[in-house]
Structure 1
Amino acid sequence: MHFRNWIVGALIAFASPAVALDVQLPQLAPIQTQGQAANLSAQLLSRYAYKPVPLDDVLSEKILDRYIKSLDPDRSIFLQADIDGFMKERTSIDDAIKNADLHTPFSIFDLYLRRLAERIISARTQINKGFDFSVQEDLPLLREKEPWPQTEEQANDLWRKRAKNDWLRLKLAGQNEAKIRETLEKRYLNLLERIKTYGSKDVFQSFMTAYTTSIDPHTDYFGPAASADFDISMKLSLVGIGAVLQDRDGYATVRELVPGGPAQLSGKIAVGDRISGVGQGADGPITEVVGTRLDEVVQLIRGAKDSIVRLDILPADAGGNGAHRVISLVRDKVSLDKQAAKKSIVPIQDRGLTRKIGVITLPVFYEDFEAKRKGDANYRSASRDVAKLLTELNEEHVDGVLIDLRDNGGGSLTEAIELTGLFTGKGPVVQQRDASGNVEVESDDRRQPLYTGPVGVLINRGSASASEIFAAAIQDYGRGVIIGEPSFGKGTVQTVIDLDKAARNDKPVLGQLKLTIAQFFRVNGGTTQLRGVTPDISLPSLADPKTRGEASFDNALPWAEIKPASYKAKGDIKALLSQLQQRHDARVKTNPDFQKFVEAAAQLKAQREKAVVSLNEVERKREMDEAAKLLKSDKGADDLAAKDDGLQSNERSLSVDVAIENARKNEKDVLRTEAAAIVADEVDLSKR
């Protein structure tokens, strides 16, 4: 029996002292193309994956476990009886994929939505009852290994504690009872409204993610819309109006205007304006989008270059019943320069001298594949942009260069190779081993490096894949000093297969499959897989290695080693490491900003390891006061970026939300400054 017989279009009615709620849950069912996409993905994974995993009962159990965990990671929504029911289908998921029949995962999702609505409504009723903050009571934080609630009462009590925690945070932030109740009523009502926006594509994406990541952590599935977003992230451009939108109270609200974009150049739209309708062409009908999911509004606004989109605007300063206006904008190519490489110069005082250290920050290894394929001589890429910045820094006579790859999750392999060549010149950069054991050496053919001065590379736990290839090559060649914390540890190669092309479809309906086809190896023969790149000089970390990094995955490939490539060192940074470490240690001991960061990192680690948070007001205030002392910035305890106001992003005014974001951006980057100082030491020691 399929779970779909349990619930069909359930209507949940619940009366509370304040309001009676009727929540109409969406009726979700798989469509034919989703079954086709799942079946075709299974065929491709069985043929071309680096480490094929048979689609059988064993994998079926893993997929189901991963799917349930993705829906209810802290085991507070489903009941144990629900889980027992799901387990009857434990060995049938593989057959469902092979038969292109997805009713079981959809039925599980149906029940998930119903249980979620019940939990939210239960929590909402607690707001009207009030809470006693004098009792000793804790909210459990780490529940992923705890048993599921046996009864509705147990589940609802967990959500009562969540509501109590929400109230306490707002109370300690200084809000009065009436304001707290208003804020939380609205918050939970918005959660209920969000349930109504789920569609079949969300269910299918969740299920396919559970399937693909059961093969390995980096195999994935992208629906058609997600595929388009991936392309945008690689070429750093899109065709649209150049407005960053945020969902606020059901409206797609303008949070930022991209400089030089159609919206900003028109002067017709401002930050804070709300979009209530979207029309296509000069005279097409306007579709109301109030309450529509933000990603769907974005898709309506994007379109072909030079086409017209019409927006029904409710101005930022108008009330809900204010006068609307309709504007027309011509879509154009918009550059996403925030994700592009950028430079700055950090002055470092060093033994009576001022060293100029050029810092190049690279958020992603981007490359406009399409423009390059078409032969566009000016196509955009990370290595090209960095080359321009290096030339500029040379002209500005910097003493050394720091490449900041923190939280750079990778991107184009070609760009990682060409970026390495800018510092090492001609030679092997990385090795690849395919599923058959064949090893191919990838090299850069640049005759001479563009930059020959002292180099540092700053990495953290979020530096992955292409970032690790670059950092490992710089380290193996002895070309520069690697600074920071051990990197992510992703040493595998993925390729993207267009399922529609594989099925010879004319329209994009099936999406894309990203699958692992090979493994990276350093030129020294080791791999970045699992262990990542170990820095030469370590800096403190805010990341949790238990939850971030390749080692946190239960099915990651093991570390391995092959024969080294034939390469010659380009420098002898190892000879300087002992002195670099000594200078670093001596400097940070007397650096108050650095020591404050160390203390904050230690406290964050302690907070992560706490299994519960107190719901007693006196005890909680004491904990918050202690935390504030460590997190307080130079601007004082009232710094917006450090203070917990208990609000979610869309609950603050837009101006305050932006101010908090700017405050965080403007905080001292202690780690970057120290990394630049290490490069300055490298400059000095190299000259000596």
Structure 2
Amino acid sequence: MKAPRLISTALIALALSVPLGLMARADGDGIPTSPDADQARTSKLVHGLLSDSRYAYRPRKLDPAMSADIFDRYLEALDPTKMFLTAADVARFERYRPRIGAAIREGELEPAHAMFAVYKERVAERVEHVRWLLERDIFDFEGEDRWEYDREDAPWAADQAELDALWRQQVRNDWLRLKLAGREPDEIRETLDRRYVNLGTNVAQLDGEDAFQSFLNAYTAAIDPHTDYFNPRSTELFNQSMSLSLEGIGAQLQKQDDVVVIRELIAGGPAAISGKFKPGDRIVGVGQGRNGPIEDVVGWRIDDVVEKIKGPKGTQVQLDVVPGSANLDSEPVRIVLTRARVRLEEQAAKSEVITVPDGGGEGVDKRVGVIKLPAFYQDFQGRRNRDGDYASATRDVARILGEFAEQDIDGVVLDLRNNGGGSLNEAVELTGLFIDTGPVVQVRESGGRVSVEGDRTSGVAWDGPLAVLINRGSASASEIVAGAIQDYGRGLVIGETTFGKGTVQNLVDLDRWPGGEEKRFGSVKLTVAQFFLPGGSSTQNRGVVPDIRFPVTVDASEFGESTHDNALPWTRIAAVPHTRYGDFKPLLPQLDVLHEARIAEDPEFKWWVEDVEQFRAERDKKYVSLNEAERRAEREREDAKRRERQAQRRELGLPLDPLAEDGSDDGLQANERDVALDTAREKAAEERPDPLLQESAAILADAMRLLEGNRQLSAQVLPESTQPGSWAR
């Protein structure tokens, strides 16, 4: 099986942390051998949804074949790298294989909990062994040993001795990374011991709710790659991510050892406005109201701490905080904050302007406005409540386009790279900013009924030159927008072929059936339909193919819908009538020639291509050497390459790379670094040169100049000169 799912991979112990969406209660030390009443009811509700064609686009009967499939997926979720369980463990689990279907159907989930309990025991054993190894072993780094980290297709370890050998190689790699970063043996030993203690603690805190959610997601994954079960807490997080807002203090938190620390303050939130917090400050106690009792939260799971800190706007919360610069046992400072609704602006649409010089020196520079859209977000509740300031990707993009019009921008690049999608409604409305009325997407339901969603509002927010920048991480709603722009001939599509997710999901609240007021059963993100572009083609599996192609960073065998073994196949339906504003085919050969000539002379683009090729070559090896001299030579070559490139940037007058002096591997996990420095480094990374964006703007400028200078070509490419897409500026 390819590409394990997000929720299931929360159990990957090698990540050394447990993602927020999977964690549940702080007091759950044991794994029950049978579910509680709510879990049993939830299991039956989920089965009812996924086996009923009135709800699921592709329902599947829980037969013996599917039971076996769920069993395999659950095993993969528990131990995807096969570093904890042995072949003997898996053989003992085999008795559960034929029982999985009945267990889900009847809410008798003992197999899931029993397997989860063994997994936890094995993690504890591995941590104990690694700590013993760190105390006694002296590692050498000579010879031709290597650590083969890709174990997806490897067999299960035959016994404990084989696991010991595997873990010794991993620990040797961890040690070598820290040694190459300049750390001394005692410091290395202390760092790694703490790392694996944290691993053991995180997994020990997993409880029956974690086991249940992971198991149900093995079931939903057997239906299709994009159906998921969310427990009540995960449902809240999902809605928060879609609405780009939360009610709380406005701080991003992370776990470091036994304490929760502030990673970043959200602008405009109560914590930032108070002026009393800094990144790296540690929260050791939380109390409700101005005078409520303080609970010591040291050692708690991060989601439990977050649950205590969040709350309705207007309410108060007390925080006992130890500054990052003080010892943890120092007297904490008590701070009282009033919670507020906080907008997560960091994830909202952003803009910039790129000036593209005239290549021949005789024309006029082109000013290209860029809109970076990381997701198709919408505050559904705010929209239903008619909140005039609800979060909306379309509203934000429309505002930016208005600003561009006032700035006399010549063309616009809509950057959808790594935009994994979001609201279908936002995709439709955002496309309507660039086209007049017309269909945007066709939606086919499970019974075969096809409906058409489109822009019904006359007029456009931008009628000028347009390009859409995509990559393999552009999925779902991004593919609807890029594909519709391409079908309409409204703009150029530039980049890599997209992910290939052509299905529609709805969030189904499981609490709506029992009818209780308390949130007990969670929700299912359920595939309910497949979408097709106005021209009738699905993006499913194949994705959107760009007009001008950049080198492929990852191909379809490595990442994308096609890596899922049960993804829907590509198909097409009849097209629906829609305006064809232009046809860029006659223009593409000239654009390709200009593009190839320019990148041949563009050092930033050439460096990017070199780095992609190197990344692909390293990834294809699926191992790293454990020879110190070899690894040190590799490190020195990388350091020299960064220094040389930075020197060339200075010589050529190019923007400098803010991470050129800070690019070496420090050997640390994310939760082991200084929080303030790590956050600053992330911010600096956002300012690194982006040759793909620069080149996209240059391609759009090329198209404008070619069409301006050749009336015959312009009439051929853009015949609807009075319509949106005329590109007449």
Q: Same fold (TM over 0.5)?
A: yes
How big is the shift at 1:543?
3.2
**90-99 vs 173-182, greater mean Cα deviation:** 173-182
> Structure 2 vs 1, CA of residues 62 and 648 (structure 1 numbering), >3 Å: closer, same or farther?
same
How big is the shift at 1:464?
0.6
The letter for the 2-side match of 1:83 is V
1:220-239 map, 5 Å: 220-239=228-247
Question: What is the TM-score of this pair, normalised by structure 2?
Answer: 0.89
How big is the shift at 1:375?
2.3
Q: Does residue 63 of structure 1 match 2:66?
A: no
How big is the shift at 1:440?
1.0
Match of 1:664 in 2: 685
| Residues 124, 163 of structure 1: 8 Å contact kept | no
Q: Does residue 96 of structure 1 match 2:103?
A: yes
How big is the shift at 1:619?
2.1
**27-36 vs 666-675, greater mean Cα deviation:** 27-36
Q: Distance in 1 between the 2:183 and 2:394 partners?
A: 50
How big is the shift at 1:672?
0.9
Match of 1:78 in 2: 85
The letter for the 1-side match of 2:384 is R
| Residues 228, 525 of structure 2: 8 Å contact kept | yes
Quick one: which of 179, 196, 199 aligns to 1:191? 199
Quick one: which of 7, 25, 29 aligns to 1:26? 29
SS at match of 1:91: helix
Quick one: which of 123, 126, 139 aligns to 2:133? 126
| Residues 432, 440 of structure 1: 8 Å contact kept | yes
| Residues 460, 485 of structure 1: 8 Å contact kept | yes
The letter for the 2-side match of 1:94 is G
**196-205 vs 271-280, greater mean Cα deviation:** 196-205
| Residues 640, 659 of structure 1: 8 Å contact kept | no
Q: Distance in 2 between the 1:376 and 1:656 partners?
A: 38
Q: Distance in 1 between the 2:689 and 2:556 partners?
A: 24
Quick one: which of 667, 690, 711 aligns to 1:646? 667
SS at match of 1:574: coil
> Structure 2 vs 1, CA of residues 621 and 68 (structure 1 numbering), >3 Å: closer, same or farther?
same
Q: Distance in 2 between the 1:331 and 1:638 partners?
A: 36
> Structure 2 vs 1, CA of residues 435 and 651 (structure 1 numbering), >3 Å: closer, same or farther?
same
Q: Distance in 2 between the 1:453 and 1:667 partners?
A: 29
Quick one: which of 117, 123, 130 aligns to 1:110? 117
Q: Distance in 1 between the 2:423 and 2:101 partners?
A: 33
How big is the shift at 1:281?
1.2
The letter for the 1-side match of 2:389 is N
Q: Distance in 2 between the 1:541 and 1:594 partners?
A: 13
Match of 2:327 in 1: 319
1:511-530 map, 5 Å: 511-530=522-541
| Residues 250, 265 of structure 2: 8 Å contact kept | yes
SS at match of 1:88: helix
Q: Distance in 2 between the 1:452 and 1:427 partners?
A: 15
Q: Does residue 141 of structure 1 match 2:149?
A: yes
Q: Does residue 207 of structure 1 match 2:211?
A: no
How big is the shift at 1:423?
0.6
The letter for the 1-side match of 2:166 is L
How big is the shift at 1:637?
11
CA offsets per residue over residues 126-169 of structure 1, 9 Å max, x none? 22211011132111122111111111010111011100000111
How big is the shift at 1:26?
2.8
How big is the shift at 1:438?
1.1
Q: Distance in 1 between the 2:384 and 2:427 partners?
A: 18
The letter for the 2-side match of 1:343 is S
Quick one: which of 394, 418, 433 aligns to 2:429? 418
**Root-mean-square deviation over aligned CA pairs:** 1.7
> Structure 2 vs 1, CA of residues 417 and 641 (structure 1 numbering), >3 Å: closer, same or farther?
farther
Q: Does residue 39 of structure 1 match 2:60?
A: no
How big is the shift at 1:439?
1.1
Q: Note the residue ranges of structure 1 that are not aligned, 5 or more in a row.
A: 1-23
SS at match of 2:553: coil
Match of 2:356 in 1: 348
**154-163 vs 127-136, greater mean Cα deviation:** 127-136
Q: Does residue 173 of structure 1 match 2:176?
A: no
1:396-475 map, 5 Å: 396-475=407-486
The count of corresponding residues between Structure 1 and Structure 2 is 665
| Residues 486, 492 of structure 2: 8 Å contact kept | yes
| Residues 362, 404 of structure 1: 8 Å contact kept | yes
Quick one: which of 362, 367, 379 aligns to 2:373? 362
| Residues 248, 650 of structure 1: 8 Å contact kept | yes
CA offsets per residue over residues 162-216 of structure 1, 9 Å max, x none? 0000011111111121221121121112212212221222111211111101100
Quick one: which of 695, 699, 721 aligns to 1:678? 699
Q: Distance in 2 between the 1:650 and 1:522 partners?
A: 43
Match of 1:490 in 2: 501
Match of 2:58 in 1: 51
How big is the shift at 1:539?
1.2
How big is the shift at 1:25?
9.9
The letter for the 1-side match of 2:370 is V
Q: Distance in 1 between the 2:592 and 2:307 partners?
A: 51
Match of 2:4 in 1: none
Quick one: which of 404, 407, 411 aligns to 1:393? 404
CA offsets per residue over residues 229-285 of structure 1, 9 Å max, x none? 111112111110011111112211111111111111122322221100111112221
SS at match of 1:98: helix
How big is the shift at 1:372?
1.3
CA offsets per residue over residues 362-409 of structure 1, 9 Å max, x none? 111111111111223333211111111001001101110000001111
| Residues 531, 559 of structure 1: 8 Å contact kept | yes
| Residues 363, 407 of structure 1: 8 Å contact kept | yes
How big is the shift at 1:421?
0.9
Q: Distance in 2 between the 1:334 and 1:402 partners?
A: 29
> Structure 2 vs 1, CA of residues 657 and 237 (structure 1 numbering), >3 Å: closer, same or farther?
same
Match of 1:9 in 2: none
How big is the shift at 1:561?
0.8
Q: Distance in 2 between the 1:573 and 1:421 partners?
A: 20
CA offsets per residue over residues 505-559 of structure 1, 9 Å max, x none? 2210100011111111111111000000001111124335333210010000000
Q: Distance in 2 between the 1:628 and 1:153 partners?
A: 38
Match of 1:13 in 2: none
Match of 1:20 in 2: none
Q: Distance in 1 between the 2:145 and 2:336 partners?
A: 56
Q: Distance in 2 between the 1:575 and 1:387 partners?
A: 31
How big is the shift at 1:102?
1.1
The letter for the 2-side match of 1:140 is E
The letter for the 2-side match of 1:109 is F
Q: Does residue 373 of structure 1 match 2:384?
A: yes
Q: Distance in 2 between the 1:71 and 1:196 partners?
A: 14
The letter for the 1-side match of 2:164 is N
Q: Distance in 1 between the 2:624 and 2:315 partners?
A: 53
Q: Distance in 1 between the 2:554 and 2:138 partners?
A: 36
Match of 1:293 in 2: 301
CA offsets per residue over residues 53-102 of structure 1, 9 Å max, x none? 10121111000100101111121211001111111111100111111111
How big is the shift at 1:583?
0.8
Identity within the alignment, %: 46
The letter for the 2-side match of 1:118 is E
Quick one: which of 556, 568, 586 aligns to 1:545? 556
Quick one: which of 328, 337, 340 aligns to 2:336? 328
Q: Distance in 2 between the 1:476 and 1:631 partners?
A: 42
Q: Does residue 585 of structure 1 match 2:590?
A: no
> Structure 2 vs 1, CA of residues 631 and 469 (structure 1 numbering), >3 Å: closer, same or farther?
farther
Q: Distance in 1 between the 2:642 and 2:565 partners?
A: 34
SS at match of 2:447: coil
